[in-house]
Structure 1
Amino acid sequence: MLTDNTIPYLNGFDDLHTTEDISRVLDGYQRRELAFAPWHNGGNRPVAAFSIAYGNNDIYLKYYVTEDAIKAEYSKFNDPVFEDSCVEFFIAFDGDPQYYNLEFNCMGTSRVQYGGGKHNRIFVPASLLKTIKHQTTLKSTDSGNIQWELTLSIPKKIFTFHPQLSFEKSRAKVNFYKCGDGLPQPHFLCWNNIINGEPEFHLTDFFKEVTFSPQVI
């Protein structure tokens, strides 16, 4: 759950449990819908939501998506997965004007960058991206849509430009997205609404402030 914009602490999961275990636990948390589609121009619109928690060394994130077509062309680290069926998580820590964009296609292929603005970004190296654990499930529905879920265990080391990062002591600004730039019908969903004339996720004015809840053992 993300009650009052607080990310809850999930005790006991760091380095102990599988991604499957984390997926089941996150199923019990409140799902937050990506309810806004600022540039929707008609046609079918995907449905997407997420659950989130954190541990001492990881952020745990699960996306739930239903859409009428999927694409998973890219399989290499830092490929342009936003052209596939893609979910994204942008985060800036402790007032830093620069931020991380974490992007994943429906098979879990990751693209992660850091910087200030869309065109001034540094790729997080593949050697670190390999440490992100993920689990994907896909199934067809009776209506012909495809439901897929992506569970992610994102280690603290991914945020490599913040070597002293402590989640519990941090405040952050975030937004969550669903997109598919290369799909037959491109779409752009977001958790916190964006007001802009054209599709653009790299707008920090529309990140929402969150805190990490105290660690209760």
Structure 2
Amino acid sequence: MKTYTIARADADVPLTGDVEGPWTAADVASIDEFNWYESGPRPETTVRGLYDDTSLSLQFLVEDDEIASRTTELNGPTYEDSCVEFFATPDPGSNARYLNFEANPCGVFKMAWMEPGWSVRGIGRDLVSPELAEAITVATSEPGPTREPSADDESWWLAVRFPFEALSAFTGLDLAPGSGDRWRANFHRTGVASRSQEASWNPIGTAEKQFHSPGHFGWVDFE
């Protein structure tokens, strides 16, 4: 099981694709576990994380030769587009529910509060409301509102800021992590040319492709 440390930011965190300022202090997590690989390229995707007293920020850098972003509605099927994902169990000691965040290159996202086993039963999730979604700030390299693949495509980036106040309101948990706190989490890359090229940060040991596998989340430590 992998462990990723989210560094504490010592300055305001810019939502950018450049690794500069506070981002230079962030550890890099590579989304390079191709759990169900069969053939084709293995595109490179990395993520960096920072936090302060008020929020958690993530920066995804994505290699992509076919950038597609067609979903325009909140909580729509962003996984059908080029997509990056963050799944997290913020209170692994006493609450098994987990956060599901999925975003496409134009910054459209789905965010859900999931019950374990949701993918099997098809029930037990709460989707973020439009009002609460406005508190989540997303910046990307693609202005949108949509994006069709181009022969010149090489990469895109996405950065997101989750205020702890908004996450607390969404989950019903008191989320204000400090030094030494631990979450369970995984990062994913979906929406690639074939499903066998989809990847995760922490390996997922299931025979069938299943990112909704909180038992296969890694550890995320707050510095």
Q: Same fold (TM over 0.5)?
A: yes
Distance apart, 1:26 and its partner CA: 5.3
Deviations, residues 116-164 of structure 1 (Å, cap 9, x unaligned): 13332111212111221122126xxxx9542111111111113422342
- TM-score with structure 1 setting the length: 0.83
Q: Does 1:148 align with 2:156?
A: yes
Residue identity in the other structure for 1:202: H
Change in CA separation of 1:11 and 1:124 when aligned onto 2, cut-off 3 Å: same
Work out which structure has the larger RCO, using CA pairs closer than 8 Å and 6 or more positions apart in sequence: 2
Figure out how many residues of one structure are paired with residues of the other and give that number: 202
- The answer to whether the 8 Å contact 2:34/2:198 transfers is yes
Structure 1 gaps, min length 5? none
* Distance (whole Å) between structure 2 residues aligned to residue 97 and residue 72 of structure 1: 32
Q: Does 1:83 align with 2:87?
A: no
Change in CA separation of 1:80 and 1:33 when aligned onto 2, cut-off 3 Å: same
- The answer to whether the 8 Å contact 1:86/1:105 transfers is yes
Residue identity in the other structure for 2:21: V
- TM-score with structure 2 setting the length: 0.81
Residue identity in the other structure for 1:7: I
Give the corresponding residue for 2:183: 172
Q: Does 1:208 align with 2:218?
A: yes
* Distance (whole Å) between structure 1 residues aligned to residue 89 and residue 73 of structure 2: 25
Change in CA separation of 1:154 and 1:24 when aligned onto 2, cut-off 3 Å: farther
Give the corresponding residue for 1:137: 141
* Distance (whole Å) between structure 2 residues aligned to residue 21 and residue 75 of structure 1: 22
CA-atom RMSD in angstroms: 2.4
Q: Secondary structure of the residue that 1:205 maps to in structure 2?
A: helix
* Distance (whole Å) between structure 1 residues aligned to residue 173 and residue 193 of structure 2: 41
Distance apart, 1:24 and its partner CA: 3.4
* Distance (whole Å) between structure 2 residues aligned to residue 35 and residue 45 of structure 1: 8
Distance apart, 1:107 and its partner CA: 1.2
- The answer to whether the 8 Å contact 2:17/2:140 transfers is no
Change in CA separation of 1:179 and 1:166 when aligned onto 2, cut-off 3 Å: same
Alignment map for 1:1-217 (pairs within 5 Å): 5-13=4-12, 18-20=14-16, 24-25=20-21, 27-28=23-24, 29-95=26-92, 96-117=95-116, 118=118, 119=122, 120-137=124-141, 144-156=152-164, 157-159=166-168, 160-168=170-178, 170-180=181-191, 184-186=193-195, 187-213=197-223
Change in CA separation of 1:21 and 1:204 when aligned onto 2, cut-off 3 Å: closer
Deviations, residues 147-193 of structure 1 (Å, cap 9, x unaligned): 1111111111134223422111642100000001xx54333110000
- The answer to whether the 8 Å contact 1:102/1:113 transfers is yes
- The answer to whether the 8 Å contact 2:28/2:48 transfers is yes
Q: Secondary structure of the residue that 2:171 maps to in structure 1?
A: coil
Distance apart, 1:68 and its partner CA: 2.0
Residue identity in the other structure for 1:132: I
Distance apart, 1:38 and its partner CA: 0.7
Change in CA separation of 1:4 and 1:197 when aligned onto 2, cut-off 3 Å: closer
Deviations, residues 12-59 of structure 1 (Å, cap 9, x unaligned): 42xxx6534996335413322111011122012221011101111111
Distance apart, 1:72 and its partner CA: 0.3
* Distance (whole Å) between structure 2 residues aligned to residue 26 and residue 177 of structure 1: 23
Structure 2 gaps, min length 5? 143-150
